[in-house]
């Protein structure tokens, strides 16, 4: 069922796709985080905006991924840009929601105590609210990363897609080996990202049991 010689002949290309895949996930995640931070600051600066921001990103999230990439194509073409924009928009909602929830769930009495001890508004945000939101942020990044690993394969339709390209190749040629290789590597990659964030969480958040 698996043609090992094909793998042997094409391993350089496979590794290339894998690197591409990782790159897309990392870019989508980073850009998503930057976007989410901007939104979070906006939401904290004008709390009235928070609801509509979550709403807008929620609507974005419901747009089917395939449709989104195709919608973006007239503007940015069959490029990495298209796929990164799409991927980061999907990250946006999860990351933003997690950070906002993290900040909102900081214990009220702890924040009040910070005020009572003489923290300024900025000191309280940097010294208390943000650190307390880190576990929630990391949980969001972890979910998003795993989701993006899957989503990247979809961008194969616009000529990107990292390991997703192998799906397309396999399907067009009715040849299972590339499909299996792609599947196995995608799952392994998702597990790797998941484990990575687990480790980061353990290092950055020693205060949660």
Partner 1 sequence: MVNALLYKLIRVIQMIRFEAVRKYHKGKDNPAVSNLSLHIAKGEICVFIGPSGCGKTTILRMINRLDAQDSGRISVNGTATHEVDVVALRRGIGFMMQNAALFPHKTVAENISAVPRLLGWGKERIQERVNELISLVGLHPEFLTRYPNQLSGGQQSRVALARALASDPPVILMDEPFAALDPVIRERLQDELIALQRRLKKTIVMVTHDMEEAIKLGDRIAIFEEEGKLVQIDSPKNILANPSSEFVKRFIGKDPSLKRLTLMKVSELQRRSVALVKAGGVVAEFDKEAEIDSSFELLLNERFEPLKWVGEREFPAPTLTLVSGEESLHHALVKILSTPNGIVVRVDQRGKYEGCISISSLYKALNDSPLESIQ
Interface positions with partner 1 (CB under 8 A) = 107, 109-110, 112-120, 123, 128, 131-132, 134, 205-209
- In this complex, which beta carbon is closest to partner 1, that of residue 134 or of residue 183? 134
- In this complex, which beta carbon is closest to partner 1, that of residue 16 or of residue 107? 107
Distance, CA of 177 to CA of 156 (rounded, Å) = 17
CB-based contact 57:100 (threshold 8 Å): no
- In this complex, which beta carbon is closest to partner 1, that of residue 9 or of residue 112? 112
**How many C-beta atoms surround the C-beta of residue 182 within 10 A?**
26
Distance, CA of 120 to CA of 130 (rounded, Å) = 14
Q: How far is the CB of 114 from partner 1 (least distance, A)?
A: 7
Could you say which DSSP state residue 52 is in?
H
Q: How far is the CB of 141 from partner 1 (least distance, A)?
A: 18
Distance, CA of 188 to CA of 46 (rounded, Å) = 41
Distance, CA of 165 to CA of 90 (rounded, Å) = 21
Q: How far is the CB of 115 from partner 1 (least distance, A)?
A: 6
Q: How far is the CB of 123 from partner 1 (least distance, A)?
A: 7
- In this complex, which beta carbon is closest to partner 1, that of residue 72 or of residue 132? 132
Q: How far is the CB of 138 from partner 1 (least distance, A)?
A: 13
In order of 31, 58, 96, 134, 139, the CA distances from 38 in angstroms are 11, 16, 9, 16, 19
Q: How far is the CB of 143 from partner 1 (least distance, A)?
A: 22
- In this complex, which beta carbon is closest to partner 1, that of residue 52 or of residue 123? 123
- In this complex, which beta carbon is closest to partner 1, that of residue 13 or of residue 123? 123
Distance, CA of 199 to CA of 9 (rounded, Å) = 35
Q: Which H or E run includes 201? A: helix 176-204
């Amino acid at each position: 069922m698996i043609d090992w010689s094909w793998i042997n002949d094409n391993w350089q290309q496979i590794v290339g796709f894998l690197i591409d895949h990782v790159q897309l996930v990392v870019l989508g995640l980073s850009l998503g985080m930057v976007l989410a931070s901007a939104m979070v600051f906006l939401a904290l600066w004008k709390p009235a905006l928070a609801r509509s921001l979550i709403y807008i990103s929620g609507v974005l999230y419901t747009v089917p991924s395939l449709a989104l990439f195709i919608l973006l194509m007239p503007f940015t073409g069959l490029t990495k840009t298209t796929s990164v924009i799409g991927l980061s928009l999907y990250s946006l909602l999860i990351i933003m929601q997690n950070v906002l929830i993290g900040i909102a769930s900081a214990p009220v009495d702890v924040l009040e105590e910070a005020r009572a001890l003489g923290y300024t508004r900025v000191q309280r945000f940097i010294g208390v609210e943000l650190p307390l939101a880190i576990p929630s942020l990391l949980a969001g990044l972890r979910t998003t990363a795993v989701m993006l690993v899957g989503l990247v394969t979809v961008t194969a339709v616009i000529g990107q897609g990292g390991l997703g390209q192998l799906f397309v190749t396999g399907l067009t040629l009715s040849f299972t080996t590339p499909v299996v290789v792609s599947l196995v590597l995608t799952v392994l990659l998702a597990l790797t990202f998941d484990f990575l964030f687990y480790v980061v969480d353990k290092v950055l958040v020693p205060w949660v049991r």
